[in-house]
Amino acid sequence: MKLDATDLRYISSDAFRVLAAVEQGSKNHEIVPSPLIAQLAGARSGGVNKALGELAKKKLVAKVQNAKYEGYRLTYGGYDFLACRTFAKRDTIYSVGNQIGTGKESDIYVVADDDGAQMVMKIHRLGRMSFRAIKSKRDYLRKGQSASWMYMSRLAAIKEYAFMKVLHEHGFPVPQPIDQSRHCLIMELIDAFPLRQIASVPSPGALYSSLMDMIVRLARSGLIHGDFNEFNLLIRDHRTDAEKDRDDETTEDREARIEREGGDFPVKVELEGEEFEERRKREREGTLLEPVLIDFPQMVSTDHADAEYYFNRDVECVRTFFSRRFKYESSVYPKFNTTIRDGVREFDLDVEVAASGFKREDRKALDDYMAELAAHDAANGEIASDEEYSDESERERDDDEEDDEAVTAQAEDDLPDVSRVRISEPTEQAA
Ligand code: ADP
Ligand code: MG
């Protein structure tokens, strides 16, 4: 499912007004009746039909004929368009660039402002996988009669933005949140690789400790990430090139160097004295390898009934990964009870998020939906969180997705390709 920005420039102002009307109508109708669109757009029906034709051709809306009436529904492409245009209007973004990630329920793009400064746009796409299967049974998916994929994806973006903001304000290492509209948010681009892609680190113990410290610090502020894995941790590498070379030097490299340079210095070049102390200090401070945490839609409060389970799962994720990848095992790891008991809660992030405008009932709707989705995936043998993704399973999932009957029409009507393009105002057309 891709975002197509190529057409963003070419929509007429009439078409834009009609698209906005379809969105507005979607709040109460999954399929918005044509007469209502005309009414909301405040336009002659001849003009509306022409505009709807243009929008349908660009796949921003889709014509639907149901048993009772004919109407249109907004596609993901249309919803993307509206969010991008809002960002462009607010001067948050000017262009959409390459897609850098596809999660199970999101797409990640690099975007830029008009100075060319790069940022990340995360588009939430809840319901991409298995919506139809669970949709009909659940009331919370249909607030009023609105399109549930729009509602849930928007809630996920609002939640993620709210959490990122509060975490960032309290000095947690997370991307700076920049803007949010509908199912999309804009954040700082972190120039780093996910931990998943890092083959070796100079001292796994130091990184391990800083990750466990982060889990503890979050919990003492009332929060649990809930998906604290190697995909959701980006590792900023502050080492100089010379340091990296030395850290990464293999036995063969070393032998070649000895051959080249001669001499009989020890095979392994260890740091000594002051240099060693300085390095340890940077490791401890996290100024050598600095982890940045992302991906917050599933965060839970430490007051949650299953808080201990989520906390332990986050801790276990780090332990398992370090043991597998770096052969690093430690008997020291945080325990939920002592973390909470000994912690002086200086502030309650959870309460602050609630105060930031992410409403309680919205939170419940989203949590219920996510739990339902996870249960559904588990029952179908799908991966419940992205902790186990590999390139292999990524491909398999893509194939599955194509065959999967449960994939909704929204997933299919999305647009072909994304290209580097500027976003600008709709072109004014002669009335
Ligand atoms: P999902 O919910 O689909 O897992 P994430 O927020 O974890 O989405 O993002 C998916 C991937 O996109 C990440 O693993 C990372 O590689 C990349 N990514 C996300 N946000 C950023 C960012 N702010 N800076 C750089 N890369 C990012
Ligand atoms: Mg993720």
Report pTM.
Answer: 0.81
Q: Which domain holds residue 350?
A: 193-250+282-354
Residue-wise pLDDT for 68-84, tens only, equals 888 999 999 999 999 99
Q: Which of 176, 234, 366, 373 to mutate to test the pocket of ligand 1 (most atoms within 8 A of CB)?
A: 234
Distance 374 CA to ligand 1 centre (A): 20
Q: Which atom of ligand 1 is nearest to the CA of 193?
A: 16
Residue-wise pLDDT for 159-202, tens only, equals 999 999 999 999 999 999 999 999 999 999 999 999 999 988 88
- Count the Cβ atoms, other than its own, within 10 Å of residue 51: 26
Distance 394 CA to ligand 2 centre (A): 13
- Are 316 and 229 spatial neighbours (Cβ–Cβ below 8 Å)? no
- Is residue 64, in this structure, part of any structural domain at all? no
- Is residue 58, in this structure, part of any structural domain at all? no
pLDDT of residue 427: 46
Q: Which atom of ligand 1 is nearest to the CA of 192?
A: 25
- Is residue 233, in this structure, part of any structural domain at all? yes
Q: What is the CATH number of the domain that holds 223?
A: 1.10.510.10
- What tokens appear for 143 in the block? 């607030």
Q: Is 150 in the pocket of ligand 1 (CB under 6 A)?
A: no
Q: One of 107, 179, 227, 350 is an active-site residue; which one?
A: 227
413 annotated active-site: no
Residue-wise pLDDT for 84-100, tens only, equals 999 999 999 999 999 99
- Is residue 370, in this structure, part of any structural domain at all? no
- Is residue 217, in this structure, part of any structural domain at all? yes
Q: At what angle do helices 307-326 and 204-220 cross, to 10 degrees?
A: 170
- What tokens appear for 25 in the block? 């109508």
Distance 104 CA to ligand 2 centre (A): 9
Q: For residue 385, is pLDDT > 50? A: no
ipTM: 0.99
- Are 291 and 214 spatial neighbours (Cβ–Cβ below 8 Å)? yes
Residue 163 zone, left/alpha/beta (φ > 0; ψ -120 to 50; rest): alpha
With H, G, I as helix, E, B as strand and everything else as coil, classify residue 312.
Answer: helix
- Is residue 32, in this structure, part of any structural domain at all? no
What mean pLDDT comes out for the span 224-251?
Answer: 88
What mean pLDDT comes out for the span 133-140?
Answer: 47
- What tokens appear for 142 in the block? 């249909």
Distance CA 177, CA 162 (A): 9
Q: Which of 295, 296, 397 to mutate to test the pocket of ligand 1 (most atoms within 8 A of CB)?
A: 295
- Is residue 302, in this structure, part of any structural domain at all? yes
CB-based burial label for 228 (10 Å; 0-12, 13-18, 19+) = buried
Q: Is 30 in the pocket of ligand 1 (CB under 6 A)?
A: no
- Contacts of 69 by beta carbon, 8 Å cutoff, 6+ apart: 31, 33, 34
- Is residue 395, in this structure, part of any structural domain at all? no
Distance CA 396, CA 103 (A): 13
Domain count, the chain: 1
Q: Is 38 in the pocket of ligand 1 (CB under 6 A)?
A: no
Distance CA 428, CA 406 (A): 41
Residue-wise pLDDT for 28-69, tens only, equals 888 899 999 999 998 776 789 999 999 999 999 999 987 788
Residue listed under structure tokens 């325990």:
335
Q: Which of 1, 100, 233 to mutate to test the pocket of ligand 1 (most atoms within 8 A of CB)?
A: 100
